[in-house]
Amino acid sequence: MKVDKNEFFRQSTMKICGNLDLGIALQEFLQYLNQFMPADYILLNVFEKGLSVLKTVYLVTRDNIRTNPYYSRISTEATRYIETREMPHARIIHQPGEDPVTKDQVIVGSEPDWLVMQRQDYSVIVMYLGIQGIKVGNVSIGTYKKGRYIDEYLDLITILNEPFTIAYSNALRYYEVVRLKNMLSDDVQYLKRELKERTGDDVIGGDFGLREVMDQVKEVAPMDSPVLLLGDTGVGKEVIANAVHTLSRRRKGPFIRVNCGAIPESLMDSELFGHEKGAFTGAMTRKRGCFERADRGTIFLDEVAELSATAQIRMLRVLQEREIIRVGGSEYVPVDIRIIAATNNNLQDMVKKGLFRSDLWFRLHVFPIYIPPLRDRKEDIPALVSHFIEKKSFLLRLPKVPELAPGALERLQAYSWPGNVRELENVVERALILSRNRPLTFSEITWTRENEHAGPLPANPESFLKLDSVIYRHLTEALSLSGGKINGSGGAAELLGVNPNTLRHRMKKLGIDFGRNSQPGYDRRER
């Protein structure tokens, strides 16, 4: 039968490469191939290099597509033969027991019920597939009758080496994408459940102490404007950030949390913006950064004041142009994200000191939300305690949720909570561990003396004096009372109740003149 090889190649290529599901593509090709030569099945085998193993991943007949893989161990001699350049890309096997590859082939594990390679009365054409000069597997086209294949059939199959290789390579990439997509979907679902368990559906205190905060959240959430969350450590900035994301149009997208203070400065650019292969030692592959992973969602930059200088410059481009450049790259990568930043530092003060870029500060400070500390919203403590008791009882697998003893809440509300909500959560967990199913009294918790009676901090933190400034004042007043005298009766050391040498050391550290350098009437400047 005379065959138009150009038409055969064109039609075969369209069928082999016409479907990303390689099983369907092989079946369509098999049905077409039967017009030109006898063919009952096609096997696709993958060569596991270094293991001397062939993995059969497809058996395709005209009626069935079977993908239940099995493994065959081949001899060391067969492995060497496969890897040599002298081995033909395609050959006909009439006698499996005499072929250098199949003669010592042993099935690993139990034999699959669809195994056809045990038949001794078959003919098969084996064509090896190579990617960048490396043999990665083979295609076996066979019939159940012996001696049916001739050199003309071998020539037909050989011209299809490239289409088979392309289809094989595309299928590998396709299935890897599907596998990663499924993994990512599972990870997203897991993280959503984890976040829901950590933060809950509602913001505790949203109807009481955090009412004003939640009003601001509801105003800004529908927009894409940057949000800057301010407040002490442990007040629940991540919970508020999650609330902004949940109430926004991006709620179905990713919510990526980044603790900027936990990333080493040398890795910060790579972690945030990603890197290209070969960008630095150890960059073996391209890596997506946090901004790319947050595409079509929200990125929460906690402790944003800890951003390195280079990361601050890169951040400006994200805010201005909505695009990034990976480390070691030259192409701009567009990102569709909403940025929420948080800090417990005074960014404006850091700008004045040159520690934070002013242009970045202006762009982040579009919609600041101040979250008050727990000491200023003690009306939230009952709801928070109830929430933490239920949550921690579940995590600790307690047989039942303990009740609160009379006066327990009053005891908690009398404390100033310098560690804010995070400290309250830890206190509740410790009380649950110590309770032994008894009502929670929190009597086991010992507050420090200075905190037990502490009042609220000044409303304006900038007016609060630093410790060195207070000590400076106290020492200069003691020196003034002693007339500049340090040692002996009536000296400043005696008034302060310290050793004279200790006092001199402290004065030197604070820049207070003494001895010959001191002048009558000490300088009372404050700093």
Question: What would the two tokens of residue 14 be?
Answer: 């369209």
Of 374, 367, 368, the residue nearest 209 (C-alpha)? 374
Fold (topology level) of 5-174: Beta-Lactamase (3.30.450)
- Within 10 Å of residue 326's Cβ, how many Cβ atoms? 24
* Bridge partners of residue 323, in order along the sequence: 334
Q: What is the pTM of this model?
A: 0.52
Count of residues making up the chain = 527
The answer to whether the beta carbons of residues 303 and 289 sit under 8 Å apart is: no
The pLDDT of residue 85: 56
Phi, psi of 176 (to 5 degrees): -70, -40
What is the torsional sign of CA 354, 359, 360, 364? positive
Instruction: Using the CB atoms, write b or e for 125-146: b if 16+ within 10 Å.
Output: bbbbbeeeeebbbbbbbbbeee
pLDDT value at residue 247 = 92
Q: What is the pLDDT of residue 364?
A: 93
Sign of the torsion angle spanned by Cα atoms 490, 493, 497, 501: negative
The per-residue pLDDT for 181 is 79
pLDDT at 165: 87
Q: Identify the pLDDT of residue 459.
A: 39
Residue 308 near residue 265 (C-beta atoms within 8 A): yes
CA 102 to CA 349: how far, in whole Å?
Answer: 76
Residue-wise pLDDT tens digits, 1-48: 688 999 999 999 999 988 878 889 999 999 999 999 999 999 888 876
| Residues lower than pLDDT 50 in the chain | 113-114, 116-118, 199-201, 449-450, 452-463, 516-517, 519-527
What are phi and psi for residue 490, nearest 5 degrees?
A: 80, 5
| Beta pairing class for 323-325 and 53-61 | unpaired
* CATH of region 374-452: 1.10.8.60
Q: State the CATH architecture for 200-370.
A: 3-Layer(aba) Sandwich (3.40)
- Looking at residue 467, what is its pLDDT? 76
Q: How far apart are CA 98 and CA 104, in angstroms?
A: 9
pLDDT for position 436: 76
At 341 the pLDDT is 95
Question: How is residue 287 written in tokens?
Answer: 């890596």
Annotate 70-136 with DSSP letters as a single string. Answer: EEEE--HHHHHHHHSTTS-SEEEES-TTTSTTTTT-EEESSPPTT--TT-SS-EEEEEEEEETTEEE
Check: CB of residue 23 under 8 Å from CB of residue 58.
Answer: yes
What local confidence, expressed as pLDDT, does residue 465 receive? 59
Beta-bridge partners for 287: 275
Q: What are phi and psi of 181, to 5 degrees?
A: -65, -45
Locate 269 and state its tokens: 């650019």
